[in-house]
A = this chain, B = another copy of it.
Amino acid sequence: MPNQQPSLDLMFQALADPARRSMVERLSRGPASVSELARPLDMSLPAVMQHLAMLEAGGIVASEKIGRVRTCRINPDVLSLAEQWINQRRTQWERRLDRLGDFLAAEDEEDK
C-alpha cells in the first residue's frame, strides 16, 4: 500500500464540490464501484472519474481495480486531518475569546 501525504489544499479542494461530497457521503456507508457512485449523479461517467481522481489526489478516497470493476473506499485518517485543522483554528479563537472575557470581567470597561 502506497503511503499518502496529501496536502490540505487538495483535501479541501476535493470536498468543495457537491458531486464529490455526495460520493464521499455514499462511500461513508461502505465501499462502492464507480458506476454506483455515478448512478445518482446526472453526469457522464468520465466526469465522475475526474471527480474520483480529485478525491484520490486529496487522499480522501482510495480505489482498487479487480477484474473490470473498480472499488472505492473512504480514507478516514485523511478526513480527520482536515477536521483537525479546522478544529485547531476554531478552538484557538475560542480560547482567545475566553481570555478576553476574563480580562473584561477583571477590569471595568465596555466592549465595542
A residues sitting closer than 8 Å to B (CB atoms) are 8-10, 12-13, 15-18, 21, 24-25, 27-30, 74, 76, 79-80, 82-83, 85-90, 92-94, 96
Contact = CB atoms under 8 A, between A and B. Distances in A.
What's the dominant secondary structure at chain A's contact region? helix
A22 to B, nearest CB: 11
Given A8-B21, A30-B96, 11 more contacts: A9-B16, A9-B18, A12-B12, A12-B13, A25-B89, A28-B89, A29-B92, A74-B89, A80-B90, A83-B90, A86-B86
A17 to B, nearest CB: 7
15 contacts: A8-B15, A12-B16, A15-B86, A24-B89, A27-B93, A28-B88, A28-B93, A29-B96, A30-B96, A74-B93, A76-B90, A76-B93, A76-B94, A79-B89, A79-B90
A37 to B, nearest CB: 14
Contacts of A76: 90, 93-94
